[in-house]
Amino acid sequence: MKQSKAQILREYGPFPGVDCVHGVSHDGERVWFASGEKLHALDPASGETVQSLDVPANAGTAFDGEHLFQIAGDSIRKIDPRTGQVMATIPAPNSGDDSGLAWAEGSLWVGQYKARKILQIDPADGKILRTIESNRFVTGVTWVDGELWHGTWENDESDLRRIDPQTAQVLESVSMPPGTGVSGLESDGADRFFCGGGGSGKVRAVRRPI
């Protein structure tokens, strides 16, 4: 397993009125992050929040190229990012333990925190298509260039892990500095990960190992 220490490129926040950052996503330009009762769009160049949507948002966030998906309690909502309108709702796999959320290959990928799992689910009805076991508490989930990464947060330690989606073998680990947690996780499709910082109220940009 390849191991390295995280290179934090920039910290954003804390933001006014935001006590905790949960899910994180990226729409190609802006970073979206969930703060409990709202979804916020962050301009990563300026560091300013440029939009907020009033939707329940206490866990993972994903973007499929057109719509946002947001976990809240026992539901995953499909949301129009321009208006905040909820277009559809499907059941979340495990109410209360679902953490990260990602979109890849026409499916949603749901992290389950204490269950230490990543589930591939059908975005139309929430049916579980595949289960990947982890040996750490799973927070954020993201795919980039065919690679599956997830965040961990356990015993005040966090890292970013690249795993084999077929065997769940850990291929690479990027350790975060002590006391720096990872809640949400998303790639920008290039050389950065955006990591939610939980109760710190921050979003951090971390260099993706290439």
Cβ atoms of 102 and 186 within 8 Å: the answer is: yes
Partners of 33 in beta bridges: 24, 40
In percent, the amount of the chain with pLDDT more than 70 equals 100
Amino acid 34: pLDDT: 98
pLDDT in tens, 157-190: 999 999 999 999 999 999 999 999 999 999 999 9
Amino acid 155: pLDDT: 87
Nearest-5° angle of CA 54, CA 57, CA 61?
115
In percent, the amount of the chain with pLDDT more than 90 equals 97
Average pLDDT, the chain: 96
Q: Is the pTM of this model over 0.85?
A: yes
Cβ atoms of 39 and 50 within 8 Å: the answer is: no
Strand order in the sheet with 192-196: 8-12, 203-207, 192-196, 185-187
